[in-house]
Amino acid sequence: MDLTEQTGAERAVALSVAEVAWHALGPDALRLAAALVGPHDAHDVTTSAFLRVTAAEEWRVVVDQRAYLLRAVRNEASNLFRARERRWRRDIAAVRPAAVDPVTVDVDVYRALAKLSLRQRSVVFFAYWHGMTEAEIAHLLELSPGTIHRDLRMARDRLRKELS
């Protein structure tokens, strides 16, 4: 059920369930996140995991909500590390001296990219050069996540077709 379809009472119950869950499970989740990613990123990881799991319909029927939330925190921490690793590799590749790894200009790649719409090129740029998630790109470009997902999929399909 969408939030716009909920009545005020349903929304209040949903919020109170989330508040109770946060007060009961939040400290354990925050401690785990601090151990996994350090104190600076722990709150972000915990909050992201908590919001993701409590927004899901199955949250209310989960038998062991503590274990479920802690697994979600571990997954968020893994996502953070993977994103940082991708960003680090791109940054290292960007500052590598040209003498070590000469860049070859691939005209076919430029032509294939030029055939994409401006929005598709923007989505590809943010996804691959900045390591942004579809949700982050959607927020940045003020588009729906579904639109970003579709544009990225269509851009990948078009590039695959053009470059094969």
pLDDT band at 11 (very low <50, low <70, confident <90, very high): low
* 42-67 mean pLDDT: 90
Please indicate whether residue 114 or residue 49 has the higher confidence score (pLDDT). 49
pLDDT, position 157: 94
pLDDT at 52 over 60: yes
Cβ 50 vs Cβ 29: under 8 Å? yes
pLDDT, position 15: 61
Considering the domain 107-163 in this protein, what is its CATH number?
1.10.10.10
CA distance 156 to 10: 41
> Each residue of 149-158: pLDDT tens digit?
999 999 999 9
pLDDT band at 9 (very low <50, low <70, confident <90, very high): low
43 Cβ neighbours under 8 A, 6+ residues apart: 30, 33
Amino acid identity for residue 70 in this structure: L
Please indicate whether residue 25 or residue 118 has the higher confidence score (pLDDT). 25
Amino acid identity for residue 74 in this structure: R
**Domain range 3-95, CATH class:** mainly alpha
What's the length of the chain?
164
Domain assignments of the chain as residue spans, ordered by start: 3-95, 107-163
**What does each C-alpha distance from 57 to 2, 44, 54 come to in angstroms?**
11, 22, 8
pLDDT, position 112: 86
**pTM recorded for the entire structure:** 0.51
Please indicate whether residue 27 or residue 2 has the higher confidence score (pLDDT). 27
Closest CA to 86 of 131, 51, 116: 131
Please check whether the two domains, 3-95 and 107-163, share a CATH topology.
Answer: no
